[in-house]
């Protein structure tokens, strides 16, 4: 009789979340990135578009080993600026919280998950500085222009995470590969 395989020998469970609202201008950037990633699927990776409601995020990333989340941000940077935050152990910078089209959104979900000790081992947030969040607007030119770069960086991050053969190979929370 053989013992069941160790859970440490399975491939990591990686989730990509594209957060946003399709009819709110640049807030749709996470959804657009998720759609592009779904067009060329990666083995062993789940890509999910979501409105980004905080408790739904907690449920989505439950039982994952790594989460890569893409959302619009409004931090005062030049529209189209891409920022990467490894938030497994550190909160999102203050400049990224408090401005959201989500009532209880990404920053609040991360803070709550941290307090409840329910953060995934790796949690990386890619934030794209938006220009317009008006109802009915599409992506601004600045944000649309950065979408291919975001897709490429998220794809590379995910490939790095899925190339790890076991959970022991995953970096500790907050230490995912850095953006190039």
3-class DSSP state of 69? strand
pLDDT value at position 154?
A: 98
Q: What share of the chain is helix, strand, coil (3-state, %, to 5)?
A: 35, 20, 45
pTM, two decimals, is: 0.84
Using the predicted structure, report yes or no on whether residue 178 has a pLDDT greater than 70.
Answer: no
Mention every residue, 6+ apart, whose C-beta is less than 8 A from residue 108: 54, 97
pLDDT value at position 104?
A: 80
More confident: 153 or 94: 153
pLDDT value at position 94?
A: 61
Mention every residue, 6+ apart, whose C-beta is less than 8 A from residue 71: 19, 20, 29, 30, 52, 105, 106, 125, 126, 127, 128
Q: The tokens of 171 are what? A: 């970096």
Give the model's confidence band at 136: pLDDT under 50 very low, under 70 low, under 90 confident, else very high: very high
pLDDT value at position 90?
A: 77
155-169: pLDDT as tens digits: 999 999 998 755 555
pLDDT value at position 143?
A: 98
Q: Counting Cβ atoms within 10 Å, is residue 171 exposed (0-12), middle (13-18) or buried (19+)? A: middle
Using the predicted structure, report yes or no on whether residue 180 has a pLDDT greater than 50.
Answer: no
More confident: 11 or 110: 110
Domains of the chain, residue spans: 47-131
Mean pLDDT of 124-142: 95
77-101: pLDDT as tens digits: 999 999 999 998 777 876 554 445 5
5-62: pLDDT as tens digits: 555 567 889 999 999 999 999 999 999 999 999 999 998 899 999 998 999 999 999 9
Mean pLDDT of 133-153: 97
Q: 47-131, which class in CATH? A: alpha beta
Give the model's confidence band at 174: pLDDT under 50 very low, under 70 low, under 90 confident, else very high: very low
97 vs 91: CA distance, rounded Å: 10
């Amino acid at each position: 009789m053989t013992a069941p395989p160790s859970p440490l020998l399975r491939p990591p469970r990686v989730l990509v979340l594209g957060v946003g609202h399709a009819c709110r201008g640049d807030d749709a950037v996470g959804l657009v990135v998720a759609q592009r990633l779904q067009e060329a699927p990666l083995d062993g990776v789940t890509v999910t578009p979501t409105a980004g409601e905080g408790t739904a995020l907690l449920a989505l990333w439950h039982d994952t080993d790594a989460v890569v989340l893409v959302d619009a941000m409004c931090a005062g940077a030049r529209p189209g600026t891409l920022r990467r935050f490894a938030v497994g152990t550190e909160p999102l910078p203050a400049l990224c919280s408090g401005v959201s089209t989500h009532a209880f959104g990404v920053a609040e979900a991360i803070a709550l998950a941290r307090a409840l000790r329910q953060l995934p081992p790796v949690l990386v947030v890619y934030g794209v500085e938006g220009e317009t969040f008006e109802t009915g607007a599409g992506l601004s030119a600045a944000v649309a222009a950065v979408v291919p770069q975001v897709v490429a960086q998220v794809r590379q991050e995910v490939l790095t995470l899925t190339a790890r053969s076991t959970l022991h190979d995953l970096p500790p929370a907050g230490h995912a590969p850095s953006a190039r």
